[in-house]
Amino acid sequence: MKILIPIDGSKISQKAVLTAKEIGEKFNAKLIILTVIPETSIIEQYPSNFPYTLEIEKANTERAEFVLSDVEKALSDYPSEVQTIYTSGNPSQQITKFAEENDVDLIVMGNRGLGAFSRTLLGSVSNKVLNHSNVSVLIVKGDIDTDKN
């Protein structure tokens, strides 16, 4: 069994990791931790800002590596395989694509605590994954006030 856990470094994604760990231990599952660096589309519209784009990409990559190393430490006692990966692009599309291309059995991710109005306008990543993935998705809910980062 393979469980994909998309994370963003928030407290609710940490809670999703612990939930996936608990499920994974029961099924001897491989845990795949994925973080997606969002696209920098606004900056790409202004090619003269190329040096700044590189700095932002470097900072985003360093953050992704930091977030993943934090989770690796938290899962150091996990009895089965743990894999960490980062990629870039549209988070919901990358999560869905990765899950399908890698024969993932379950996606475990946190909700982002968006209100109904915000979700209607923008659509949260978890909502998009839930509605577009062919893989089963477990949404780990958290307290909106205490789980924001």
Q: Dig out the tokens for 5 from the structure.
A: 């856990």
Q: What share of the chain is helix, strand, coil (3-state, %, to 5)?
A: 50, 20, 30
pTM: 0.82
Q: Which CATH superfamily is domain 2-140 in?
A: HUPs (3.40.50.620)
Q: Sketch the domain layout of the chain as residue ranges.
A: 2-140
Residue pair 9/36 in contact by the 8 Å Cβ criterion: no
Distance, CA of 132 to CA of 149 (rounded, Å): 26
Under DSSP, is residue 106 helix (H, G, I), strand (E, B) or coil?
strand
What are the tens digits of pLDDT across the range 6-61? 998 888 899 999 999 999 999 999 999 999 987 765 455 555 556 666 777 788 88
Q: Determine which of 56-65, 89-98, 138-147 has the lowest per-residue pLDDT on average.
A: 138-147
